[in-house]
Chains A and B, each alone.
Chain A
Amino acid sequence: MQFLPNVIFVALLGGAIFWFSKNVGRIRRNILLGRDVDRSDNASGRRANMLRVAFGQSKMQARPIAGFLHFIIYASFLIINIEVLEIIIDGIFGTHRYFAHFLGSAYDVIISFFEILAVATIVTVVIFWWRRNIGKLDRFHKPEMEGWPFKDANIILYIEVALMFALLNMNAVEENFTSSEHSFIVSHSIAPLWSGLSDSGLHLMERFFWWIHIAGILAFLNYLPFSKHFHIILAFPNTYYANLEAKGRFANNSTVTKEVKLMMDPTADPFAAPPSDGPIEKFGAKDAMDLSWVNLLNAYTCTECGRCTSECPANLTGKKLSPRKIMMDTRDRIDEIGKNIETNGEFKEDGKTLLGDYITQEELWACTSCNACVQACPVDIDPLNIIMQLRNFATMEESSAPAELNAMMTNVENNGAPWPFSQMDRANWINE
């Protein structure tokens, strides 16, 4: 019986890691349903981008207040999690404050620093909660944020506060032990709250907070794959695999290149049968699986902050387009496809598609391709790339582009300009 807590702990830890890995594997599978695209080049540039944008949070700082507050939570998360390592060692081996043996008096200084970060986190979370629920920041109350996304954001804040309270109270209770060897800066001041308890009561409460804290962390870990908060993990691969080329460069479709070259080749046999190997190529994307795996990685990385939408000229002027909704729709659709595959063994036609059932043509055609959303995203998500692939499908496969654009394209095709002027008049300005 002596080892029961250790056994329970190991079972809890193992179970948590197992479920988390299973769900990460599910997301990985969903991402890899996407079309292949090569992002294996320029490893050093990619590492540098990841360090700067994800680790260094460079793009978060475009909005200094939110950037600073976010940095506090981010730094606390990274640093306080060092203590989780100690908790895991203590849990498995039944030790108590394992690191204290090595660190001596430095241990109290370090944990005191962690406690200060914990307080800073609580204060920051309260500010974030206020911004979201009372401050009525416009971007947190767009249509796509109704329901689960809004709840999700608050749940994350509540869990973070609960974890920090458990940590501080655990330390505070312990300081009241007759055998107490430690005193930390913040918990020292709240220790008197627990001074009325008997020594056995104190030990019980200390264990209670210890278990609440670690169980809370493991529960939070397993909440991540179902939440927008998964960005804390995917921000790193997402910035690594981000597009590092000029934002204005839109990829050329190589299938089209082949066809156009064939069309322009005077020696090509016009009656030659098309090569029959492989499936018929589809132009552009209609459903989430037609997008690239980078687009899908983007979708799972999105934490729905809405900076993209708040910079989007179409959204700013009341149009239905919201780049954040493009990302959320893509994620929801590929998630649905993933579930479909789990249920049926392979994807079974469900009569739905990303373009049409999730994203409407009205949203699609409101985009000015200005790249403001791409610029605004703190983790290098590219909603514009998805919009353009959907437009490719709408125009080339469905011919459903707005009539005025069809007229424009007819002009380009007939007279080499988007307006109906003769190409022969192109140099008239010289003599006017």
Chain B
Amino acid sequence: MTTFSVPTLAQMNASGQAPEVLFWVGCAGSFDDRAKKITKAMAKILHHCGVSFAVLGTEEGCTGDPAKRAGNEFLFQMQAMMNIEVLNGYGVKHIVTTCPHCFNTLKNEYPELGGEYKVEHHSQFLNGLLKEGRLKVEGGQFRGKKITFHDPCYLGRANDEYEAPRALLEKLDVELKEMRRCKQNGLCCGAGGAQMFKEAEKGDAEINHVRADEALETKAEIVVAGCPFCNTMLTDGVKNREKEEEVQVLDLAEMIALAEDL
């Protein structure tokens, strides 16, 4: 993709350097075609702001979140211990990730197993850059556009972060129209708790279709997500309602990268 290089921690380490922050890409961000675009947008922003960062590359493994939520504590802790060994081996102190599931697991469930890091969701990290003056955001192509934001459960309720993503959106000069259920009361996209990897139980509707309806009710042109799984679920929901021509589903990082023409 790139006009710049994304170093791995191994490469940096070999040349005796240590990055300011580790970009934890996550499985979706590494393998899912849609989520890879979010990963690239985030890498562009980090590069643009002059943040020295690295990825783990082939040394990264699933945090174990879906295994733990599916009840497999063994597999979760195996993954956690392997990742912690790698992270501690490199002396990692600060992690940023675009996936709220990775964020939650690294932040809340790794410390007890020996992995203590400052972990931030990209909305929080980018806000930090804004405050430090290293990231300057102007509305660009999004100025005045009506958008809505879907709170990821693992960022919002799970970790009480509702303001960081909204503060970024405010900088984009968009018109934020909240959904009926938002923030603490936000409706799940339907993917959490390992649901992403299985068919839903029998019911009378799909959760992501209901959530897409709530987003469409706001008449927003863009539905903003902060999670690769929410992104997939909402994109599918919008398609199911045949609104994909009019309504885009974008990640926060993509919004900023597009606004800044990165």
Q: Does chain A have a CB within 8 A of B240?
A: no
> Which of chain B's residues 87-125 have a Cβ closer than 8 Å to chain A?
104, 107-109, 112-113
> Which of chain B's residues 201-247 have a Cβ closer than 8 Å to chain A?
201-207, 210-211
Q: Does chain A have a CB within 8 A of B198?
A: yes
> Which of chain A's residues 28-67 have a Cβ closer than 8 Å to chain B?
62
Contacts of A368 in B (CB 8 A): 153, 188, 190-193, 195, 207
- For the complex, give the distance between the alpha carbons of A362 and B211 in Å: 22
- For the complex, give the distance between the alpha carbons of A365 and B203 in Å: 13
Q: Does chain B have a CB within 8 A of A120?
A: no
Which of B68, B77, B108, B211 gathers most chain A CB within 10 Å?
B77
Say yes or no: B77 contacts A248, CB within 8 Å: no
What total of chain B residues lie within 8 Å of the partner, measured CB to CB?
A: 73
Contacts of B178 in A (CB 8 A): none
Q: Which of B14-22, B55-63, B169-177, B248-256 contacts A (4 or more CB under 8 A)?
A: B55-63
Say yes or no: B74 contacts A396, CB within 8 Å: yes
Say yes or no: A427 contacts B31, CB within 8 Å: no
A376 nearest CB across to chain B (Å): 8
Contacts of B36 in A (CB 8 A): 429, 432
Q: Does chain A have a CB within 8 A of B25?
A: yes
Say yes or no: A260 contacts B197, CB within 8 Å: no
Q: Does chain B have a CB within 8 A of A309?
A: no
What total of chain A residues lie within 8 Å of the partner, measured CB to CB?
A: 69
- For the complex, give the distance between the alpha carbons of A316 and B214 in Å: 13
Q: Does chain A have a CB within 8 A of B194?
A: yes
Q: Does chain B have a CB within 8 A of A395?
A: yes
- Contact A256:B77 (CB < 8 A) given known A250-B68, A369-B192: yes
A332 nearest CB across to chain B (Å): 23
- For the complex, give the distance between the alpha carbons of A256 and B82 in Å: 15
16 contacts between A and B (CB under 8 A): A246-B159, A248-B154, A260-B74, A368-B191, A368-B195, A369-B153, A372-B153, A372-B157, A372-B188, A375-B185, A388-B69, A391-B71, A402-B198, A430-B2, A430-B55, A430-B57
Chain A residues at the B interface, C-beta cutoff of 8 Å? 62, 245-250, 252-253, 256-257, 259-261, 263-264, 283-284, 311, 313-314, 316-321, 362, 365-372, 374-375, 388, 391-396, 401-402, 404-405, 407-409, 412-413, 416-419, 421, 423-432
Other CB < 8 Å A-B pairs besides A247-B157, A427-B30, A430-B43, 11 of them?
A: A62-B185, A246-B159, A246-B160, A250-B68, A252-B73, A284-B73, A313-B188, A370-B192, A419-B31, A425-B30, A432-B36
Chain B residues at the A interface, C-beta cutoff of 8 Å? 1-2, 5-6, 8, 25, 27, 29-32, 36, 39-40, 43, 55, 57-58, 60-62, 64, 66-75, 77-79, 81-82, 104, 107-109, 112-113, 153-154, 157-160, 184-185, 187-188, 190-207, 210-211
